[in-house]
Amino acid sequence: MELIKVDYNKCIKCGICVDICPSCILEMGEDGPVCNWDRGCMACGHCVAICPTAAMDNAHCQLAKQIPVPMPVLDSETAYNFLRMRRSIRNFKPQPVEEEKITKLLDIARYAPTAGNSQGLYYIVISDAETIRKIADLTAEWMQKEIEVNSPHSRYFSNILRTYHERKIDIIARNAPQLIFACARKLNLTGVSNCEQAWSYASLYAPTLGLGTTTAGFIQTCGISGYEPLVELLDIPKKQQIVGTLMVGYPKYKYQRLVERQHLKVEFR
């Protein structure tokens, strides 16, 4: 089908689709909206989703595959408390998470916003305990190299490695039963920020599945740096790069209270 189709019998010429199009490829014609530059479409689906009479269709995000917005939405207090309930989980039960739940977790992550609707993330789930240990060891190795070149994080990394090597505490992978690596094409300059959004969605959704998550910051930074031994261990395709790492598992403990944060700092001008 052509990119944009309009049922002009349904169209009421309200112009909302034209206003809402982020790529500005729609304009209002005599009979209704027309597309004047289809190659600029970012496939966001706004034009189809916003149409009050379901008159619009888009080949990249078809009307038949969209569903009505469920009602009612959460009230503000429920949503506020739900968001406050999110905790970074670093203590996990030993059993791995079922593939079905991991799939659900990552399925919601694909709905997170991405720059220019670039999307394009794919995931590698590591469940083998020995491989996770090697990943932690390689990350420690990378941190040691950073210390040797006197990177800005040298002092911090030294403390981390003291805990990891001398105290034998896995402060790097946190004994997580699974690690999820997000990858994006090397030409995707927004891959890291896209992944941050995806991790936010996954982390907020995780408790509904009985799961806990936190960003594996040391491993993630090592991966984003392109540390070759880690890239080789994970067998990352040459055209791809690591853009994020997430720990996931069943929480060992249950938090009983909502933690306060620093007071709000805002200036209205």
What pLDDT was estimated at residue 72?
A: 79
Give per-residue pLDDT as tens, 139-172.
999 999 999 999 999 999 999 999 999 999 999 9
pTM: 0.92
Q: Is 27 a residue whose pLDDT tops 80? A: yes
Q: Is 39 a residue whose pLDDT tops 90? A: no
What pLDDT was estimated at residue 54?
A: 96
Distance, in Å, from the CA atom of 265 to the CA atom of 158, rounded to the nearest integer, reads: 33
Give per-residue pLDDT as tens, 61-104.
999 999 998 877 889 999 999 999 999 999 999 999 999 999 99
What pLDDT was estimated at residue 1?
A: 53
Give per-residue pLDDT as tens, 99-120.
999 999 999 999 999 999 999 9
Helical segments of the chain, H only? 16-20, 46-50, 76-84, 99-109, 129-148, 154-161, 191-205, 217-224, 228-234
What is the average pLDDT value for the chain, to the nearest integer? 95
Distance, in Å, from the CA atom of 184 to the CA atom of 121, rounded to the nearest integer, reads: 5
DSSP assignment of 140-192? HHHHHHHHHTT-TTHHHHHHHHIIIIIS---TTTTT-SEEEEEEEETT-TTHH
Structural domains present in the chain? 4-65 (3.30.70.20), 81-249 (3.40.109.10)
Give the bridge partners for 34, in sequence order: 27
pLDDT > 70 in the chain, percent:
99
Average pLDDT over residues 6-11: 96
What pLDDT was estimated at residue 251?
A: 98
Backbone φ and ψ for 160, nearest 5 degrees, come out as -65, -45
Give per-residue pLDDT as tens, 214-268.
999 999 999 999 999 999 999 999 999 999 999 999 999 999 999 999 999 999 9
Q: What's the distance, Cα to Cα, between the start and end of the chain in Å?
A: 49
